Structure 1
């Protein structure tokens, strides 16, 4: 794979998305429509010409037969022909032309209808794209009226968008296929159908076949992509608790659901990571692979020991409020499908062989879905505020506000503790929940006010900043709130979750064991990958030679041409018109001789260069006879391989790396100290195509980085 260097200037030159949208949705069908309109006149002209010849040729045959009977030696020249025929031979030629016209007429008539397919396909693609964009824009505006309007409008778009995108792809496929077939069959009607035209016809038919294949692949890809509409389970590393394992927790949850007029969850899942959330989508547990369906409440256990009863009630009440009233339908019918549609459209732009045919549909789909983003953000914000209000009804607004800040200030402690355990699972404690609580300063949390702009984590949704949520609760951001949120952790706080779970300590150790097992598995998989990457290059040197053979052969042929020209000048000066001008003859012969010499010298130089390795690759560094020093792989930040007239390897070095120098002023190597880049040009790499050459460089760079990572973890290789 060719890996590009990062270039911020390239990003600055990118066109706005709306320009690409217009180009693909309007410009491409318009170009195909213009091509179809041009083909209409050409197709009709061909059909009319063949039809006219079918009518005229029988008359010409009769006339030529009469002429051959009366004047056998008469000379006949057909219209547009350069050769004259005798009357008898002219009769045979006319009969052959009549047979050809009779054979070609069905094809000519069919070809005259092909532009209609091109025009129809282009028009279908254009209308489908514009209807999709216009309908989605109207639906997006309607969705802002209410949450019910959002659900209804999105339902319409969800059903109509795949159909419209499918019609758009079918229209483009039809237009491209019809245009390719029209141009391919047009070569059949060439008056002098030679071997060259036969090859062009074969090439055009191959292009038409590729267009048909791409069209089928595009439609099949569309079907497969929109299968991603099916919501995927949420992967959660946690355990589901039944009532026997957590009687107090289930009792609290059911009580809060009843007080909030909400539906109780079907499952309660606890884990170490993430934030509080509820979902009506499928949840797949990482501990045992079990998939839960229905309503699920997830609780991160590290937070249970820092929230008091009223704060925890406010948090759980907030989450259960999403199972109340209209919110439960929103959670079930909209959020998972909305995320699934995003995934589908992300995959649509890379649908395989039909990528060029699905690209306009991908632009339309993203634009159509984007019209809902403002409505989704608006109603998501509104539903969170409403859930906060419902949660505060069961505990009071101040505990709800302090719970938001207390969860926010604990987040970095949880992240740091679990991150350290993940990096070094063998040195981690058996109870990571206790480790999190032990990491909290004895004086309490520092500066809760610095977390006012935090957003609570959620796997499928977004939350407004805590500052806005606290303001919506009507709680002032004063010293009393900050003191409550930053209060020190007491033993009662650490112990009270035991009233919710029958074996609290065992649950914490079990969740910790699951987490550490996952960390070890990840480290083992990472180590295997790094070892394989490090071993992907040989210990001995790999020599890359310049591929100069094509150029040597080219110079050889050029030298023969110059030599032939010189010999012709010497042997046939009279035929070439220079026999009377000895000076001109000498100059031309000298130029031919100079051409032979130059081609020979250049070929010898290229041949000599090919005998010396262009690059010497080792596991530690890259060397080249063109450079006065080696380039250490660890100093390479990025690389790029480009190919055209020349194959160029460009290495971008780190700021602290030592730059080598080119040995000669005029050389195949270039060193830019301002850009910190080293470039090596060549005519190609012997035995390697550009992609294979780039893959080779990439393997050496990946192997070096893998060894660095293995060395950093003190594992060696």
Structure 2
């Protein structure tokens, strides 16, 4: 079953089928309630008649009624004064039962109303979100109006649904548990059932209350956080040629001019109209902003750069950036409503709540409909922006720009990535270094980039082949050869002429990125050293014990053995069949007693032993070096923070020889998966989560030591390659760098 089918089934099950099932239960309760009331009423009338007859015979509770006066109830027959007393007590019980039954009969209508309203709300939200999604794909204004209405109504709708769901559950459970209150002396089973019913009702009301309280925060006014951009905002005096060029393109296009031009080394071309914060200067501003990545400018031809900038300015013309700002509160409102529902229903072990599950499913569906409509317009606007870029250049130039951007991306990433990985060896001018690297090594073949033939409904951009087709340009061999041609020798000087002091600007931006890299490496080295020192040099033994199970088996074995001895003594001299039965029972007693005694005498035994260099599993014939382990796994039943039993799995790296079995517990080997698994029924002094945290610390320490030992304390190149995405904000991502300390214990 595909994920899409599973998601659809889960949505229908929780929002439609379950409320319909509860509605069916309520209708059944509507039929059972009056029938039960009539039954109790009939029993009361019968007791009243019996009391009348007893009274007519002269019997009284305080008198010495003749023993011929009798009353039967529940298989017991009472005579004399006891008959009058029993009948009176039964009448009192039936009066209470009638009162409970009358109250009970008020509950099914509540369940009917709640279940019907939840079902209707689910249908309305499903159909409404679908209709708004379709209308939103026809008109961007309809999309904004419709889902802005959803943003304002969704907290109330989800809150109402959760409250109705909780009220329906409470009423339905109370109806089923109410007959237990009619009993004078409830049994232990009855008391357990009452306790379970009270627990379910209490949790339902608690969850609904949490959801309502959490939803209050979603009604607060949304204020978007500033977009953090790594770069410099340039005044006209700092880049007169650049401003003249961009404003000339805007005039030719008939587009709005940018209020700011920001240049940097990382990322791609983009425009934005929301609040922004420049990093590292901390400068904040609003208005229309055009961002230009400097390393790309000399690698693109003049008309290719103009097509890309025209494309970005086309988003100003279409009001795309303003629409994006208006969509932010909608996204924020729906996400906050979803978060409120999820947090309200989440258990202490991270499990999802049943009361809030329908609301969460509906919220996700609404968000999905909105996403599809927004991305639909996003893809259309990309086509329109491509047309804008082609209008001020040519369709052929716009097509070349699409392809060449992909062709030069690898050269930019190579230079910036190397500078981030080895800041001590980075060139002072990364723009010039990227240009020289591209001239020496050429550009990548954009045809090698894999892309989907059909866009996914939530893709923000159409596939490249569709954009080329819309421009009316086919990627011929001649075009691809032209796209991959190295940049002209004069391309860098053309870009330099746009700025008053390009050399200083390029070097300052390069120094900032290299400084960020050095700081990231320093922070990462500190994290490695902290991870390496988080464990001591001594080995730690984690033990488990079967003594608890042994103390359970021992008394059972003794009792069963006593039964066998008793049967033997009772049937002494009897038939041989009794001896056989006694012998079988005695054998069963031995099978219980012997393992129990063995478990108690054995006591605690090692489960695993961890040291800075290796882990030893009980039942495995050799220690496993941490460097030989690819991954570990944990499986528990119940909350990991409370459970002490678990299955622990170790997966070895390819090429590592599996160990053999040794004396001890039974270890399970799976050769194809390179997996070893051992099981503990009960860890001593550790919960499953404590155990996972301990293994995580030792793995992290071993890998950190390996990195530090391999490269030495003086070599910053060890600290791992940063991805191109991480280079956008190197300080924010460099601290964790995706290196060896970034494990997270996963327990399922």
Q: TM-score, normalised by structure 1?
A: 0.85
CA displacement, residues 233-253 of structure 1 (integer Å, 9 cap, x when unaligned) = 433322333444444433433
- Give the conservation status (yes or no) of the 8 Å contact 1:660–1:671: no
Aligned to 2:410: 412
The answer to whether residue 169 in structure 2 is matched with residue 176 in structure 1 is yes
**1:333-372 to 2 correspondences below 5 Å:** 333-334=326-327, 337-338=330-331, 341=334, 352-353=346-347, 355-372=353-370
Does structure 2 conserve the Cα–Cα contact (< 8 Å) formed by 1:278 and 1:297? yes
SS at match of 2:492: helix
Deviations 1:504-542 (A, max 9, x none): 333323322332333334334433444444444442122
Relative contact order higher in (CA < 8 Å, ≥ 6 apart): 1
Out of 312-321 and 11-20, give the one that drifted further.
11-20
8 A Cα contact 1:636 1:651, kept in partner: yes
Residue number in structure 2 paired with 1:28: 18
Q: CA contact under 8 A between 2:557 and 2:593: conserved in structure 1?
A: yes
Unmatched tracts of structure 1, length 5 or more: 1-10
Unaligned runs of 5+ in 2: 638-643, 715-740, 742-748
Which residue of 2 is the match for residue 68 of structure 1?
59
Aligned to 1:516: 514
Q: Distance in 1 between matches of 2:69 and 2:245?
A: 108
Q: Deviations over 1:186-230 (max 9, x none)?
A: 421235423542343233212211121122234445555787976
Counterparts of 1:291 and 1:461 in 2: how far apart (Å)? Answer: 30
- Cα 1:268–1:54 change in 2 (3 A) is farther
Paired residue for 2:133?
Answer: 140
Report what 2:672 is aligned to. Answer: 674
Matches within 5 A, 1:484-563: 485-490=483-488, 492-563=490-561
Give the Cα separation in 2 of the matches to 1:312 and 1:203. 70
State the 1:50 CA deviation: 5.5
Instruction: Measure, in 1, the Cα distance between the counterparts of 2:161 and 2:509.
Output: 50
1:200 to 193, 197, 206: 193
In structure 2, C-alpha distance between the alignment counterparts of 1:95 and 1:663, rounded to whole Å? 74
TM superposition shift of 1:437 = 1.8
Question: Where does residue 614 of structure 1 map in the other structure?
Answer: 607
1:679 counterpart SS class: strand
Instruction: State whether structure 2 residue 390 is matched by structure 1 residue 392.
Output: yes
Local SS of the residue matching 1:285: strand
1:655 aligns with 2:654: yes
How many Å separate the matches in 1 of 2:410 and 2:221? 35
Gap change, CA 1:167 and 1:517, over 3 Å in 2: farther
How many angstroms apart in 2 are the aligned matches of 1:349 and 1:523? 37
Look up the match of 1:19. Answer: 9
Name the CA distance, whole Å, in 2 between partners of 1:517 and 1:50.
85
**In structure 2, do the counterparts of structure 1 residues 431 and 114 end up closer, same or farther at CA, with 3 Å as the change threshold?**
farther
Measure the CA separation in 1 of the matches of 2:589 and 2:473. Answer: 92
Q: How do 1:554-703 and structure 2 match up within 5 A?
A: 554-569=552-567, 573=570, 578=571, 581=574, 583-643=576-636, 647-663=646-662, 668-703=666-701
Q: Name the CA distance, whole Å, in 2 between partners of 1:705 and 1:77.
A: 87
Match in the other structure for 2:725: none
Residue 647 to residue 306, structure 1, CA distance change in 2 (3 Å): closer
Structure 2 SS opposite 1:356: coil
Paired with 1:98 and 1:230, the residues of 2 have a C-alpha distance of 67
Whole-angstrom CA distance in 2 between matches of 1:615 and 1:107: 58
CA deviations over 1:630-685 (Å, ceiling 9, x no partner): 22222222333334697432222222111011136x96112222332212234322
Match of 1:401 among 384, 399, 402: 399
Give the direction of change, closer, same or farther, for the CA distance of 1:73–1:367 in structure 2 (3 Å limit).
same
Task: Return the offset for 1:429.
Answer: 2.5
| 1:143-189 deviations in Å (ceiling 9; x for gaps) | 33343444344444444544444443333222223223333434212
Change (3 A) 1:608 1:194: closer
1:253 maps onto 2:249 in alignment: no
Could you tell me whether the CA contact under 8 Å between 1:283 and 1:293 is conserved in 2? yes
In 2, Cα distance between equivalents of 1:266 and 1:121: 55
In 2, the alpha carbon distance for the partners of 1:311 and 1:568 equals: 100
**Post-superposition shift, 1:320?**
1.5
> 1:141, CA displacement in angstroms?
2.5
**How many angstroms apart in 2 are the aligned matches of 1:93 and 1:263?**
94
The 1-side partners of 2:132 and 2:630 are apart by: 47
In 1, the alpha carbon distance for the partners of 2:4 and 2:398 equals: 46
Distance in 1 (CA, whole Å) between partners of 2:336 and 2:324 is 18
2:21, 2:257 → 1: CA distance? 58
- Cα displacement (A) at 1:560: 2.0
SS of 2:353's partner is helix
Check if 1:432 corresponds to 2:430: yes
* Superposed CA offset, 1:83-119 (max 9, x none): 3334434444455455555556554333322222222
CA contact under 8 A between 2:154 and 2:334: conserved in structure 1?
Answer: no
Q: Deviations over 1:462-507 (max 9, x none)?
A: 3334443344334564566556544443454223334433333333
TM-aligned CA distance change 1:229 to 1:100, over 3 Å:
farther
Is 2:256 the counterpart of 1:263?
yes
CA contact (8 A) 1:168 1:361 kept: yes
Greater CA deviation, 475-484 or 541-550?
475-484
Tell me the matched-pair count: 697
* Counterpart contact for 1:147–1:379, Cα < 8 Å: yes
Structure 1 residue 375 displacement after superposition: 4.3
CA distance in 2, matches of 1:337, 1:268: 28
- Alignment-derived partner of residue 724 in structure 2: none
Deviation at 1:383, TM superposition (A): 1.4
Say whether the 8 Å CA contact 1:229–1:344 is kept in structure 2.
Answer: no
Matched, 1:275 2:268: yes
Q: Distance in 2 between matches of 1:517 and 1:44?
A: 80
